[in-house]
Amino acid sequence: MGEIRRKITTLLSADVIGYGGPIEADDPATFRTLTQRRETFQRLVTEYGGRQFGGVGHSRMVEFPSALSALQCAIAIQRAALEENESLPLEQRFGTSLMLAIRPWEIKVFADLRRTPDTRIYG
């Protein structure tokens, strides 16, 4: 049997949340926004040294060489999503749920940031 190699890596899991309402309100506009979010996501993942290795539907799995680069990327993704949401009507906004895992038993969750009608930010 071959040698088993182990490494500590940082995984980022991303998924779209709150997508149902916007898709019902305006399917073509929501698809355009989702396409823009995917492009922004991929650009930031590449910028921070990540490697996408999987995903189903709207979810993505990315590996990073360090916890710091994964965290910086997660923050950049959330900031970009918040900025993109501010240019959209409220009924067209949706979020991104991110989770970082350094080890299977040490999971850090970063909730999405969504601006509500009363301008509070929940995360």
**Does the pTM of the predicted model rise above 0.95?**
no
Domain locations in the chain as residue ranges: 10-122
- Tell me the mean pLDDT in the region 15-35: 86
Neighbours of 25 (CB within 10 A): 13
Instruction: Name the DSSP letter for residue 95.
Output: E
Give me the CATH topology for the region 10-122.
Answer: Alpha-Beta Plaits (3.30.70)
Among 50-54, 68-72, 82-86, 118-122, the minimum mean pLDDT is found in: 118-122
pLDDT of 62: 92
pLDDT of 104: 43
Percent of the chain with pLDDT over 90: 22
What are the tokens at 2? 């071959």
